[in-house]
Chain A
Amino acid sequence: MIYEVFRQERKGQAFEHAGSVAAPDAAFADAYAHEQYGRRGESVALWVVPRDAIREIEDFPDELGKNYHRVDGYSLKAKLKEARERAGTAAPSGDS
C-alpha cells in the first residue's frame, strides 16, 4: 500500500505534501513516515493518508465566464480617472 505523507512545520501552518511511503499496513506507514519526515524535529505533526483515500478534482470549467466573482472582474482604473476628472480632484498632469 502507498501512503501519502503531509507535514506541518510549525503549529498553525498549513500541512504540505512531503512525499510517500510504501507500507504493508497503517502501523508500518506511521513508523516509516515518522522516521522519514519527523526524526529531526522538522515537523510538529504529520498526516499519513492511504493514497486510495485521496480524491482529486482538477477540472474547473467556467462556461459562463463568471468574472464578477473574481477580482479580475473589476478594473476600476479608467472609471476612477474619469470620476476624479468630473469631481475636479484629478492630479495635475505634467510637472508637479
Chain B
Amino acid sequence: MSREQEFLEYVQSGGAVEVDDWMPDEYRSKLIKFIEMHANSELMGVLPEREWILRAPTLQRKLALTAKVQDEVGHAQLIYRVVEDLGKPRAQCLADLISGKSKFHNVFHYPTETWGDVGVIAWLVDAAAIISQKALLKCSYAPYARIMKKICWEESFHILHGRDVILTLMLGADGQRDLVQEALNRWWAPLMMFHGNPIDAKDDPVVQWRIKTQGNEEARQQFLDGYVPQIWELGLTVPDEKLRKRDDGVWEYTEPDWNELRSVVTGHGPRTAERLEFRRISREETAWVRHAILADAA
C-alpha cells in the first residue's frame, strides 16, 4: 500500500494529524485552501456588521456589536495561525484575499440595508455558520479542530445576541416587525446557498480527507430543521412557497440559484469590490504599526 493510501485510510478511520506529521501534498493544499477561506470569511464577515456600530440603536447594542466584531477578527487571527503552520504566511493570505485570488463566504458579499439585517445576520447567518463549524470539531487536522472549540463557544453568544435583537424588534411597533420580515426576505436566498450546492460525499475531496465531516445538503437540512420552526413561531414568513417538511423529515425547498452563488463567491457580489477595497486601504494604513512592532522586536 502506498504511503498516501495508508494516510487516507488513517484519516478516514478517525485518525488525527498534527502539525509536524507527514501528510500528502494534496491533503496539505486542500487544508490550506479550506482553512484560508474560513479565515477570510471571519475577517470579511465583520465588515457588514462594522457598518452598523455607529448606527446601532442603544449603547448596549453598540458595545455588543463591537465585541462581536472583536470576536470574529480574533477567530480570523487564530485560523490564519493554523494556515501559517501549514506553510502559507499570513501576509500572503491577506494579499491573496485583497487581490481576489482567494475566496470568502457568499453571505459577506451582500449589503446590509437596515438594523433588521444586523439581527438576521447575527441570528441566522451565525446559526448556519455554527452548523458547519460544529462539524469541524471532528476534523482530521487536529490543530484546526482544537481552535474550533473556542470559536463555537463564542459563536453561541452571537446567536443569542442576534435572537435578542430580533425578539426586541418583534415586540416593537409594526414598522419594527416589518424591518425583520424585509431583512429575512433579503437574506433567505443567500442563507439557502450558504452550505453550498449538494455534492455527493464520495465526490467531495474535502469530505474524503475528513477535513469536514458533513455533506452540504446535510448541513442545510439541519439548518432548516433547527431554525424554520423558530422563524415561524415569531409570526414571520419564509419567502419560499415550496418550503415544507415532508413526512419522512426531509425539508423541500425551491432550488437556490447556484449560478448566483458561483458569481458571488468569485468576486462579483453586490459589495465585493467595495469591501475588498476597504480591506486594502486598512491594510495600507496600518502598515506602520507592523513595521514599528517588528523593528522594535529585532
Contact B297 A25 (CB under 8 A): yes
- Contact between A19 and B81, CB atoms less than 8 A apart: yes
Whether the pair A24, B296 counts as a contact (CB closer than 8 A) is yes
Compute how far the CA of A56 lies from the CA of B19 in the bound complex, rounded to whole angstroms: 12
Bound-state Cα–Cα, A35 to B77, Å: 11
Q: Which of B74, B85, B293, B297 contacts A35 (CB 8 A)?
A: B74
Q: Are B296 and A37 in contact (CB under 8 A)?
A: no
| A-facing residues in B272-298 (Cβ within 8 Å) | 293-294, 296-297
Instruction: Please determine whether A19 and B143 come into contact, CB atoms closer than 8 angstroms.
Output: yes
Number of interface residues of A (CB under 8 A): 17
Q: Of the candidates A22, A24, A25, which one forms a contact with B81 in the assembled complex, judged by CB atoms under 8 Å apart?
A: A22
Given the interface pairs A37-B150, A42-B153, the reply to whether A19 lies near B293 with Cβ below 8 Å is no
A42→B81 CA distance, assembly (Å): 21
Which of chain A's residues have a CB closer than 8 A to the CB of B84?
22
Minimum distance in angstroms from A5 CB to a CB of chain B: 10
Contact of A21 among B81, B150, B296, B297 (CB under 8 A): B81
Main SS class of interface, B = helix
Give the distance in Å from the alpha carbon of A35 to the alpha carbon of B73 in the complex: 11
Query: Residues of B contacting A28 with CB < 8 Å?
Result: 293, 297
Q: Cβ of B297 and Cβ of A24 under 8 Å apart?
A: yes
A24 to B150, Cβ gap below 8 A?
no
Task: Name the prevailing secondary structure of the A interface residues.
Answer: mixed
Q: A22-B81, A25-B297 are contacts. A36–B146 as well, Cβ < 8 Å?
A: no
Cα of A18 to Cα of B147 in the assembled complex, Å: 7
Across-interface contacts of A17 in B (CB, < 8 A): 146
Q: Is B78 an interface residue (CB 8 A)?
A: yes
- Contacts A17-B146, A19-B146, A22-B84; is A36 near B77 (CB within 8 Å)? yes
Docked-complex contact A22 and B90, CB < 8 angstroms: yes
Cross-chain contact A20 with B150 (CB below 8 angstroms): no
Contact A36 B74, beta carbon cutoff 8 Å: yes
Q: What residue in chain A is nearest B147 (Cβ atoms)?
A: A19
* B89-105 Cβ-contact flags toward A at 8 Å (1 or 0): 01000000000000000
Chain B residue with minimal CB distance to A56?
A: B20
A24 near B293 with CB under 8 A, answer yes
Q: Given contacts A36-B77, A36-B78, is CB(A18)–CB(B296) below 8 Å?
A: no
Question: Bound state CA distance, A20 and B77, in angstroms?
Answer: 10
Give me the interface of B with A, judged by CB distance under 8 Å.
20, 74, 77-78, 81, 84-85, 90, 143, 146-147, 150, 153-154, 293-294, 296-297
User: Could you give 16 example pairs across A and B, Cβ below 8 Å?
Assistant: A18-B146, A18-B147, A19-B146, A19-B150, A20-B81, A20-B143, A21-B81, A22-B84, A24-B293, A24-B297, A28-B297, A36-B74, A36-B78, A36-B150, A37-B150, A40-B154
